[in-house]
Every structure is written in C-alpha cells, then in structure tokens.
Chain A
Amino acid sequence: AQSVTQLDSHVSVSEGTPVLLRCNYSSSYSPSLFWYVQHPNKGLQLLLKYTSAATLVKGINGFEAEFKKSETSFHLTKPSAHMSDAAEYFCVVTFSGTYKYIFGTGTRLKVLA
C-alpha cells in the first residue's frame, strides 16, 4: 500500500537558520510527490512538485526538495527561515494514473525571532 510519513509533527527553528522537514514514502510504483503549505485558516498552497524529471526540485519562497529513490525520501529544505514561513507543511504522494492524493499528517513549523 502507498503511504507517506512525515517524521516530525513539530519543528522549531530560529529565524535565519536552515529548515529541514522530513518526508518518507512507500510505494511499489514511481510516485509524484508534492509539498503543500497551509497557513492558519487558509487553503493549501503548492510549494513544489516532483514528477520524475530532475531529482532536485526548486519551489516558491526559496524552498527546495530532493527526491532520493534509494532512501524513499523527499525532504523539504530552505537555507534560511523567515518568520512568514511559520505554517503547517504537508508532504503528498500520488501515482501516475491515479487521483487520490495521499497526505502525510503534517509538520508544524515554528520560526523563532
């Protein structure tokens, strides 16, 4: 069965320091992978997506993620956190020919001044 695991439910970083949000998936097929961000009481915004092209994917707001097939991981990183990055982040997996997005349980990012 396909699944996605976000290893940390909460992450706290200081402003200006790097961000790492971890995501692992399990699948027998080649996945498409996404990271979405949800600010309080707002909808989901797509940060970036991997669809079997380059393994290093650059997204909006300085975020990027690297697809590592050998580790079945798709961790989200940003070199320098900003206060406005505080939000909940969801890793999502889906598979070619399907439409059911499978969401991780989310990681709440807190950015300290």
Chain B
Amino acid sequence: NAGVMQNPRHLVRRRGQEARLRCSPMKGHSHVYWYRQLPEEGLKFMVYLQKENIIDESGMPKERFSAEFPKEGPSILRIQQVVRGDSAAYFCASSPQRPGHSTDEQYFGPGTRLTVT
C-alpha cells in the first residue's frame, strides 16, 4: 500500500505567482489534513477535508489560501499571489476513519517545500 503522496516535492515561485500543491491520500483513506511547517517551527494545522467537503479550515490564512478534495483526484492546496512569508514546508496527512475513532492515526506525506523568491 503506497503511502501518502505529495507533489511536487520542491516548488519555487516568484512573488505574485500561484502555487498548487497536490496530495494523494493512502488508499482507502477519505480524510485529509494539511499542515504548514515554517522554518525552525513545528507543524501547524491548516485545514481538514473529506471528499468534496471542507470540515475545518480554522488554520488557513483568511486570504489567498484555499483547499479542495474533489470526488476524483488528489487534494489540492492553492496559494494565490504568493509572498515570501509563504515559504515553508507543507505537509499532507490522511486517515482512514473519522476523528475520534481508535484508528484515527494520521499518516504523513513527505511534504512540499515551497520557496518564494
């Protein structure tokens, strides 16, 4: 069973461009979470999605950031008009069960390292 896949692994964007980060959850997982890791910090929760639904986006910046998890295909984290402060590692995680279930452990992907120049 392949793990959580993220691509690209490294992404360089100039200020003002758009960044699209993709996450394919593990097979059979229908819950996806995005986290951001700023330099020298731990990961911070951004958003929780199920297929076609955003469950909790309380950790997302109010502007320029959006996420989706369509019925078919990977989850996408989209950052419009990137700024230098968006430079970070973005990790996706997936889980097989609804939160609170005994097997709700999150499995993390390798991350996408975004650099804004």
11 A-B pairs in the complex with CB atoms less than 8 angstroms apart: A41-B113, A43-B6, A43-B109, A43-B111, A45-B108, A90-B43, A96-B100, A98-B100, A100-B45, A101-B43, A102-B45
Residues of B within 8 A of A90 (CB): 42-43
Interface residues of B (CB under 8 A from A): 3-4, 6, 31, 33, 35, 40-45, 48, 56, 59, 91, 93, 95, 99-100, 102, 104-111, 113
Count of residues in A whose CB is under 8 Å from the partner chain? 22
B100 touches A97 (CB 8 A): yes
Complex CA–CA separation, A93 to B94 (angstroms): 17
The interface of chain A, by Cβ under 8 A from chain B, is 34, 36, 41-46, 49, 51, 90, 96-106
> How far apart are B74's CB and chain A's nearest CB, in angstroms?
16
The answer to whether B105 and A49 have CB atoms under 8 Å apart is: yes
CB of A33, distance to nearest CB on chain B (Å): 12
Min CB–CB distance B10 → chain A (angstroms):
9
Count how many pairs of residues, one from A and one from B, have CB atoms less than 8 Å apart in the complex.
56
Q: Which 6 pairs of residues, A with B, have the shortest CB-CB distance?
A: A103-B42, A43-B110, A99-B99, A97-B100, A44-B108, A103-B43
Tell me if B41 and A101 are in contact (CB < 8 A).
Answer: no
Of chain A, the residue at the smallest CB distance from B59 is A100
In the bound complex, what is the Cα–Cα distance between A103 and B45 (angstroms)? 9
Query: Complex Cα distance A9/B40, Å?
Result: 9
* A34, A98, A99 pick with most chain B CB within 10 angstroms: A99
Chain A proximity of B100: nearest CB distance (Å): 4
How far apart are A46's CB and chain B's nearest CB, in angstroms?
Answer: 7
Contact A105 B99 (CB under 8 A): no
A105 in complex: contacting residue of B41, B48, B111, CB < 8 Å: B41
**Is A43 within 8 A of B99, CB to CB?**
no
